[in-house]
A and B are shown apart, each in its own frame.
Chain A
Amino acid sequence: MQTKTPEADVMAKYLLGELSDAEQETVEEKLFLDDDWFDRLRVAEMELIDRYVQGGMSQKERSQFERGFLTTPDKIEKVTNAKTFMRHVEQLEPARAIEPETSRPFWRSLASYFSFQSPAMQYAMAAAVLLLAVGGAWLVYDRMRLRREVYEARNQQTKQARESDQRMQQQRAELQQALDQKEKELQQQLARSQGKDQEIDKLKSEIAGLRRQQETLPLRQPGEAITTVLSAGPRSRGARGSPEPVSIYLKPQTKKLSLRVQLKPPIALRYNVSLSQEGGRPVKEWPGVRPRRTRSGQYLGVTMAASLLSEGDYVLRAHEAGRGGKAVSEYRIKVFRK
């Protein structure tokens, strides 16, 4: 880490968990007994987080930070909030950046530069400068107006895109639920009867119809992100029979995959969610995920880069966080790449 003073160095090491136990004890004592030191440590922590969020760290520093600092959900929370704040500031920049231009008195310096001894020249120059000032001011004003319009239009566009994205995700989730339900019915029919071909054909055509509907649902950028709902029920652990895996079809342009795990009461405050290959190799973990609420109930939402998944079988597990790691749900997922 880039540090300037020995104190800053100790603080950075403390924050990154790189001190020995004895050194850490000394720092902790200072933390409680010296209020100024405590303030400086908080500033050091804020600046460290800001450097990470604003991309001001080298690759080595980033991995040191992720390994040494981002070790608890509380710290991940701090980084998330910092990132939110920085994004807000970024969005403000275009509107704020133009403010100083309106107050810059450039005509004064221009007039003094062209000051002549002759009064006629002085009047002529003054008139020219006045003309330039009026023209310049109008240009600045016009530029400011245009920038504001662009900024507002961009904000509006972002808002609309976000809303339509949410609507589509909801629609997609509902379709997925309906599809799961029909598939379940089909499995039950198959198990129950060997002779009711008509009913089975009807269910199959319903499923195909739902799939078509789902595929024709437009995305913000076609195929860039997909959401799959994993509902509690026959696929959760402890159900009778062999649980059927949820199939996910990833197109080459799919960048993000969102998984929603439907929860059933009692619902804990946080969950640790993990995805691993069937066979054991861990792919990704989401510690301390908070349940979200919709009209249809509570769910856990996790998002990952689609590039992490190759074709094959995976298992998604959700554990209650902080309660002895009790497993809540387990889902089998089958990934297909188109």
Chain B
Amino acid sequence: MSYLPPPKRDWEMTPAAFGKLLACLHPDHERAGEEYERIRQKLIIYFEGRKCSPADEHADEVINRVARRLDEGEDVRDLNRYVFGVARLLRLEIIRQPQSEGESNEHLGRLMVFPDLDAAVEDRMDFLERCLNSLAPESKEMILEYYQGEKREKIDSRVLLAKRFGLSANGLKVRVCRIRAKLEDCIKDCLRRLGKSD
């Protein structure tokens, strides 16, 4: 596992560059925002898959670099492919970074022990409740019903749920997955704010 910050930035995102990036993602501002989130999630999965942590910081660095290129006038035809290319280059840079003293990747991989989650779960219960209440009522209803019941009852209830929302079984799973991602972001945000305000 690599636990290194992205290589030092010599350029910061500007509102103009961010605007160009969004325009390149979709002409409609709202859809562009969704596309931006999608690409960021892809990048996070990519860096997690390559065991480069913190994955979200690496993802942001890739987006920064792409925005910079667009701002400088680079003609990008297939943005997803371009982003993939930049991500691969960044990963190579991370691999080439010198490891800190006494911290070899192999060593960390072997020693890493899964921590006791119970304390962390207790801390998050209130945040989760708050985040669930911040969801649209339809989303809250969907995610809570999706996990109700056991075995056969659960399967039947999911079929009915999909029918009620006019979705296929897979479509329902994708929607639930997105709601879960929203909840995770919200909890992360709560934890971050707690760290700042306390």
Does chain B have a CB within 8 A of A278? no
- Cross-chain pair count, CB within 8 angstroms: 161
B-contact 0/1 string along A285-305, CB 8 Å cutoff: 111011111100000011111
B119 & A324 in contact (Cβ 8 Å cutoff): no
What's the nearest-Cβ distance from chain B to residue A171, in Å? 18
Interface-lining segment among A65-73, A132-140, A214-222, A238-246: A65-73
Known: A96-B148, A325-B102. A71 touches B112 (CB 8 A): yes
Partner of A290 from the list B84, B122, B183, B191 (CB cut-off 8 Å) is B191
Does chain B have a CB within 8 A of A147? no
Does chain A have a CB within 8 A of B49? yes
| Complex-state Cα separation, A41 to B45, whole angstroms | 9
Does chain A have a CB within 8 A of B121? yes
Known: A28-B49, A72-B55, A74-B55. A301 touches B41 (CB 8 A): no
B113 & A285 in contact (Cβ 8 Å cutoff): yes
Chain A residues lying within 8 Å of B41, measured Cβ to Cβ, are 38, 42
Known: A84-B125, A324-B101. A304 touches B116 (CB 8 A): yes
A80 & B117 in contact (Cβ 8 Å cutoff): yes
Considering only residues 53-96 of chain A, those with a C-beta below 8 Å from chain B are 66, 70-89, 92-93, 96
Q: Chain A: which residue is nearest B176 at the CB level?
A: A46
Chain B residues lying within 8 Å of A92, measured Cβ to Cβ, are 144
Known: A35-B38, A42-B41, A88-B129. A75 touches B48 (CB 8 A): yes
The binding surface of chain B is classed by DSSP as: helix
Partner of B121 from the list A43, A70, A84, A287 (CB cut-off 8 Å) is A84
A81 & B183 in contact (Cβ 8 Å cutoff): yes
A39 & B148 in contact (Cβ 8 Å cutoff): no
Chain A residues lying within 8 Å of B129, measured Cβ to Cβ, are 88
What's the nearest-Cβ distance from chain A to residue B188, in Å? 7
Does chain A have a CB within 8 A of B75? no
The binding surface of chain A is classed by DSSP as: helix
A73 & B53 in contact (Cβ 8 Å cutoff): yes
Known: A74-B48, A324-B103, A325-B100. A88 touches B111 (CB 8 A): no
Known: A78-B184, A83-B121. A322 touches B45 (CB 8 A): no
B51 & A72 in contact (Cβ 8 Å cutoff): yes
Chain A residues lying within 8 Å of B55, measured Cβ to Cβ, are 72, 74
Chain B residues lying within 8 Å of A84, measured Cβ to Cβ, are 120-121, 124-125, 128, 187
Chain A residues lying within 8 Å of B191, measured Cβ to Cβ, are 290
B3 & A321 in contact (Cβ 8 Å cutoff): yes
B38 & A38 in contact (Cβ 8 Å cutoff): yes
| Complex-state Cα separation, A42 to B115, whole angstroms | 24
In this complex, how many residues of chain A approach chain B with their Cβ under 8 Å: the count is: 69
Partner of B84 from the list A17, A29, A88, A93 (CB cut-off 8 Å) is A29
Which residue of B41, B100, B120 has the most chain A CB atoms within 10 A of its CB atom?
B120
| Complex-state Cα separation, A17 to B47, whole angstroms | 12
In this complex, how many residues of chain B approach chain A with their Cβ under 8 Å: the count is: 64
What's the nearest-Cβ distance from chain A to residue B63, in Å? 13
Chain B residues lying within 8 Å of A86, measured Cβ to Cβ, are 147
Q: Chain A: which residue is nearest B173 at the CB level?
A: A43
Does chain A have a CB within 8 A of B56? yes
Q: Chain B: which residue is nearest A302 at the CB level?
A: B115
What's the nearest-Cβ distance from chain B to residue A146, in Å? 21
Q: List 21 A-B contacts (CB under 8 A).
A: A29-B84, A32-B81, A38-B41, A38-B42, A39-B177, A43-B170, A71-B109, A72-B53, A72-B55, A73-B53, A74-B48, A80-B117, A83-B121, A86-B147, A89-B148, A93-B148, A258-B119, A285-B111, A303-B116, A324-B100, A325-B100
Known: A66-B114, A74-B55. 8 other contacts (CB 8 A): A38-B38, A78-B184, A83-B121, A84-B120, A86-B147, A96-B148, A290-B191, A324-B103
Q: Which residues of B contact A (CB under 8 A)?
A: 1, 3-5, 38, 41-42, 44-46, 48-51, 53-56, 80-81, 83-84, 87, 100-103, 108-109, 111-122, 124-125, 128-129, 132, 144, 147-148, 170, 173-174, 176-177, 180-181, 183-184, 187-188, 191, 194-195, 198
- 7 closest cross-chain pairs (CB), A and B: A324-B100, A293-B198, A72-B53, A32-B84, A84-B124, A325-B103, A43-B173
Q: Which residues of A contact B (CB under 8 A)?
A: 14-15, 17, 24, 27-29, 31-33, 35, 38-43, 45-47, 66, 70-89, 92-93, 96, 162, 258, 274, 282, 284-287, 289-294, 301-305, 321-326
